[in-house]
């Protein structure tokens, strides 16, 4: 399992709770890793759609804690 967040403080806190998780500084490392089949996200609402599309275009399933779409433009892109 890997974790990515642009905020290193959040990554450190996450790894404190889940010490076996490896951290990465690049989103692409997760998207390119064929052993990772699911990406879970709690990102800022307006960023969820773009992330979900990137995840799914890399052949992975996507789970988010809240609705991934916040605008009609995002719905159209999906």
* pLDDT tens for each residue of 18-71: 999 999 999 999 999 999 999 999 888 888 989 999 999 999 999 998 877 778
Q: What is the pLDDT of residue 31?
A: 97
**Its pTM surpasses 0.85:** no
- Are 52 and 64 in contact by the 8 Å Cβ rule? The answer is yes
For residue 15, pLDDT over 90 is answered with: yes
Question: In the numeric block, which tokens belong to residue 39?
Answer: 């990406």
Q: Which fold has domain 2-77?
A: Rossmann fold (3.40.50)
Residue 38's φ and ψ, nearest 5 degrees, are -135, 135
- Are 35 and 55 in contact by the 8 Å Cβ rule? The answer is no
Q: What is the pLDDT of residue 66?
A: 80
Question: Phi/psi zone of residue 26: left (φ > 0), alpha (ψ -120 to 50 degrees), beta?
Answer: beta
What residues contact residue 23 under an 8 Å CB cut-off, 6+ apart?
Answer: 2, 3, 4, 11, 15
């Amino acid at each position: 399992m890997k974790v990515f967040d642009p905020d290193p403080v959040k990554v450190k806190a996450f790894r404190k709770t889940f010490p076996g998780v490896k951290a990465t500084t690049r989103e692409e490392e997760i998207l390119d890793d064929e052993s990772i089949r699911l990406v879970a996200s709690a990102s800022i609402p307006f960023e969820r759609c773009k992330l979900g599309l990137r995840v799914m275009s890399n052949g992975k399933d996507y789970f988010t804690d809240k609705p991934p779409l916040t605008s009609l433009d995002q719905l159209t892109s999906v």
